[in-house]
Amino acid sequence: MRMRLVLLLLVGTAALILVGALALQHRFDDANRFVEAQIGEQRFAYAASYARDEATAAGGRSDRLAFAAVFPDFAPAFRATAPREMVFVTLTPRDDGVNPAERPEKLYARFLEGDAWIGPGGLIMRRFEQNSPYDLEQLYVAPQGGAAFFARCPKPQAASIAPSEQCLSLFRAGGIDVELRYSAILLDRWDALLDGARDFIARLGAARSSVTPPARTRPVETQNKDAR
């Protein structure tokens, strides 16, 4: 009788281990499956592990894709990651309003105080005027007007914002507007942040060809149309 109980316990334990292993494998396979999505005429492919919400994980046509990546290589966050290393990337269709590269001069300039300071990474820091739409934030711009890079970050006393979403930057990549949210500690490496984000967006587009083999057999005219 005792031997039978021992055997039952061993069988039960082995079954639980097997079920757990299969569940982990399923989660791993699901995280690494490739998803195809489209915003307007631009198509993307990416590992599901990058998706920040269910709509992005599902793919298909969308007006918004949200990703979470780890600085500096913009790999997916498979494991627990320090908030200061996280970068949240959101893609939306190109806005007909002010070009992100022109925002510092055409949108923000009229709300800024006159003084300027040298900030992290050689960025120029400006404060917004009291009672302006951005009076709880500070503006950091790259030299020559901020056309290459800008960031809006909360003032030190506005500490209620999650560390991984303190700063906001925008840039345009073709027909897509890209929003970045990240910790203020990354401002010191803003050029690597921007280069990494641009490379990440390029990889999302380049990956599409690796998961759609039939596209290689299409006529040249169709390939060119898709590439646009």
In a domain, 12, yes or no: no
3-state secondary structure of 10: helix
In a domain, 105, yes or no: yes
CB 123 within 8 A of CB 141: yes
What's the predicted TM-score (pTM) here? 0.76
In a domain, 3, yes or no: no
In a domain, 78, yes or no: yes
In a domain, 15, yes or no: no
Each of the 228 residues of the chain gets a pLDDT tens digit; together they read: 556 544 545 444 444 443 333 333 334 445 568 899 999 999 999 999 999 999 999 999 999 999 999 999 999 976 556 778 999 999 999 998 899 999 999 999 999 999 999 999 999 999 999 999 999 999 999 998 888 999 999 988 765 666 667 899 999 998 999 999 999 999 999 999 999 999 999 999 876 554 443 333 333 343 444 433
Task: Enumerate residues 6+ apart whose C-beta is below 8 A from 189.
Answer: 71, 72, 121
In a domain, 201, yes or no: yes
Q: How many CA atoms lie within 13 A of 161 on its CB side?
A: 20
140's enclosing H/E stretch is strand 137-141
Give the residue numbers spanning the domain of 179.
33-227
Q: How many domains does the chain have?
A: 1
In a domain, 61, yes or no: yes
In a domain, 9, yes or no: no
- The helices-and-strands tally (H runs, E runs) of the chain is 5, 12
